[in-house]
Amino acid sequence: MPNSNESIKKQDYGISRRNFFKGAGLVAAASAMAQLPITGNNIAEAATANSIDELYEISKDYKQFDQKNEVFCRWEWDERFMPRPKPTIAPGSPGYTVLDIAAGLAAWTVAVSFNSRFGAMSGNDGLFSWFSLGATQFPPKPWITEPREASQAIKRFAHDIGGVDAVGITTVDPRWVYTDWFHRATKESGKIELSLTADKPEIKEDGTKVIPEKMKYVIVMLHRQPFEMINTTPYAASHGATGVGYSKMANSAPTVAEFIRGLGYNAIPMANDTMLSVPLAIQAGLGEVGRSGLLISTIGPNVRISKILTDLPLASDKPVNLGVRDFCQSCKKCARECPSGAIPDGDMTTKGYNISNNDGIKKWYVDCEKCRIFWEENMGGVSCSRCIAVCPYNKPEGYWTHELGNKLAPIIGGGLVTIDDWMGYGKVLESEDYWKKPIE
Ligand code: SF4
Ligand code: SF4
C-alpha cells in the first residue's frame, strides 16, 4: 500500500473550463435522458422512512458500542499498536513545509482551547460541559411551546450562530448510546447510564455519567469543512480542514446547548462522545452511510457531526433514502483511492474486521486499524481525508452539478465516476497550488 511521499499520487488538480463544460454537457445529456429536473432539493424529493430499521438491516443481536474500542482510544491502550509504527514522512518534505504544518495545526485553535479537544472526544470537558457555562441562566419558568415550533426555533438559532450547515432532529435510540466512555488523555473510563429517575445530568463518584431518560431529544448538526483544503489530503494542510470541522463543532454545540439552558431545559453538547454520530444523523434525516463508513449527507461527505441531547420537547425529522448505497455499489472510488487499503471494494456485510467495528448492521465496514496506522505513518498523525475528498458527492457548496450528480448517481452508477474522474475531481491538490489558488 502506498504510504510515503513518493507513493502519493502527483496529479494536476483543477477543472479546466473546457472540461467543465464538456462534463456539464454530458451530465445534462444524461439528465435529459433520465427526464430529471436540474434544480431542486434532494431532501424534499428523497423517499422518507419512519425509522432507520426500514432502511437498514440491523441484527436483533446488535450490541451497544464501548467507546474504549474506538480506534483512536485503542491507540492509547491496545498492544496491537505498540510499538508505534514509524512515520514514513518527515517535516520539510513537499506538502509538509512549515507553512503547511502551521495551517494544519492552527485550524484546531478553538477545538483545542478551553480543554475542549478531549471534551469533544469523551464528553463533559471544556466547552462540552454537561452543565451551564454561565452565558445564560435557567429562567424562573421554562419556555413552553409546541414541539414543531421549538424545533424551528432551534434550527433557526443553530443556523444563524454560524458553523452549522444542516440540522436534523431525532430521539434517543439506546442502541447508539456507548456502554462506557473513555478519556484519551487521562485514560479514565466509566459507565454511561440512561436513568428513568434522574432529573438532571449527573456524574457519579465512580465516574458513571447519568443521562435522564427524559432527555430523549437529539439535535444533530452538520459542519462543512473547507473544500479546497480537504483536497490537499493527505498533506499536512489538509489536517487543518479536519481542525476547522472540530473548531466549528466546539463553537456551535456548546452555544446551542447554552441557548437551550436559557430556555429552561437541560442540554448535553456532544461531538464524538457518548453516542454514535452516524446512525443518529441517519435517523435525523441528514443522509446515509456510504462505502467509506462516513455519513454521505444531504450536503455531501465533507462534514463533521455534532449533536445535543435535551429534554426540550422537539418534533423529529424522518430518515431519508437518497440512493447513496445503490450508487456506492458500483462507484468504489474511495476503495480505489484509499492509501491504506482500509475500504472494501466488495459487497456489504454484517461483520467488521476487528473490535473497532460495530458488527450487526448490513453495511460496508472499514478496517480502521489500517486507517489509523496510515495516519501515524503520515508524519506522525496527520489526518487523512482521501475518502472524503474523492467521493463524487463531495463538491463545492452551491455547485449545481452536486445536486444534479446526486440525482443521477443512482441511475447511471459507475458512469458518473468516469465523468467525475474526467472532470478532475478527487485528484490530490498539491499544497503549493493550494496556497496560490485565488479566493472565490
Ligand atoms: S481516512 Fe479514509 S482514505 Fe484515508 S486511510 Fe482512512 S479510510 Fe483510507
Ligand atoms: S466514493 Fe463512491 S463508493 Fe465511496 S462513499 Fe463516495 S459514493 Fe460511495
* Lookup: cell for 105: 495545526
Residue 340 near ligand 1, beta carbon < 6 Å: yes
Q: How confident is the model at residue 410 (pLDDT cuts 50, 70, 90)?
A: low
CA 227: distance to chain centroid?
14
Ligand lying nearest the CA atom of residue 71: 1
Give the pLDDT of residue 186.
92
Q: What is the mean pLDDT of residues 304-314?
A: 98
- For the chain, the straight-line distance linking the first and the last C-alpha, in angstroms and rounded, comes to 36
Q: What percent of the chain has pLDDT over 90?
A: 78
Can you give the pLDDT at residue 8?
43
Indicate if ligand 2 lies below 6 Å from the C-beta of 429: no
Task: Determine if ligand 2 sits within 6 Å of the CB of residue 391.
Answer: yes
pLDDT at 96 over 80: yes
User: Does position 220 have pLDDT exceeding 60, yes or no?
Assistant: yes
* Angular region, 140: left φ>0, alpha ψ -120 to 50, beta rest: alpha
Asked whether the predicted pLDDT for residue 397 surpasses 80, the reply is: no
Q: What is the mean pLDDT of residues 387-414?
A: 74
pLDDT tier for residue 2 given thresholds of 50, 70 and 90: very low
Closest residue by Cα to residue 389 from 165, 163, 235, 284:
235
pLDDT for the residue numbered 415: 77
- DSSP β-ladder status, 209-212 and 287-289: unpaired
pLDDT at residue number 411: 66
Cα–Cα distance for residue pair 434/422, rounded to 1 Å: 20
The reported pLDDT for the residue numbered 351 is: 97
* CA angle centred on 371, ends 163 and 249, rounded to 5°: 15
Q: Is the pTM of this model over 0.85?
A: yes
Residue of 288, 299, 322, 328 to mutate, ligand 2, most atoms within 8 A of C-beta: 328
pLDDT-derived band at 39 (thresholds 50, 70, 90) equals very low
**Residue 350 clears pLDDT 50, i.e. is over it:** yes
Tell me which ligand sits closest to the C-alpha of residue 378.
1
Is there an atom of ligand 2 within 6 Å of 297 CB?
no
Residue 26, pLDDT above cutoff 60: no
Instruction: Report pLDDT for 45.
Output: 57
Comparing 396 with 428, the larger pLDDT belongs to: 428
Query: Does ligand 2 come within 6 angstroms of the Cβ of 323?
Result: no
Question: How many A from CA of 417 to the centre of ligand 2?
Answer: 9
Given a contact cutoff of 8 angstroms between Cβ atoms, the answer to whether 67 and 73 are in contact is yes
Residue 67 has a pLDDT of 97
Q: What is the largest CA-CA distance in the chain?
A: 65
Q: What pLDDT digit, counting tens, does each position of 140-167 carry?
A: 999 999 999 999 999 999 999 988 999 9
Q: In this predicted model, which residue has the larger pLDDT, 189 or 33? A: 189
How many Å apart are CA 139 and CA 136, to the nearest integer?
9
Q: Is 425 in the pocket of ligand 2 (CB under 6 A)?
A: no
Task: Give the nearest ligand 2 atom to 292 CA.
Answer: 5
Which ligand neighbours the alpha carbon of 342 most closely?
1
39 CB-near residues (< 8 Å, 6+ apart): 400, 403
- Domain interval for residue 358: 5-436
Q: Which residue, judged by its Cα, is nearest atom 8 of ligand 1?
A: 338
Model confidence at 13, pLDDT cuts 50, 70, 90, reads very low
Q: What is the mean pLDDT of the chain?
A: 88
Q: Per mean pLDDT, which range of 296-305, 358-367, 402-411, 424-433 is the poorest?
A: 402-411
pLDDT of residue 18: 44
Q: What's the mean pLDDT in 320-335?
A: 93
Residue 194's pLDDT is what?
98
C-alpha distance from residue 159 to each of 30, 165, 218, 259 (Å): 35, 7, 16, 13
Name which residue leads in pLDDT, 299 or 18.
299
Which atom from ligand 1 is nearest to the alpha carbon of 383? 1
pLDDT of residue 222: 98
Beta bridge partners of 170: 218
CA distance 205 to 337: 47
pLDDT, average across residues 265-280? 97
pLDDT of 4 above 60: no
Domain count, the chain: 1
Contact 194, 216 (CB under 8 A): no
Ligand 1 within 6 A of CB of 391: no
Q: Are 390 and 382 in contact (CB under 8 A)?
A: no
Percent of the chain exceeding pLDDT 70 equals: 85
Q: Of all protein residues, whose CA lies closest to atom 1 belonging to ligand 2?
A: 391
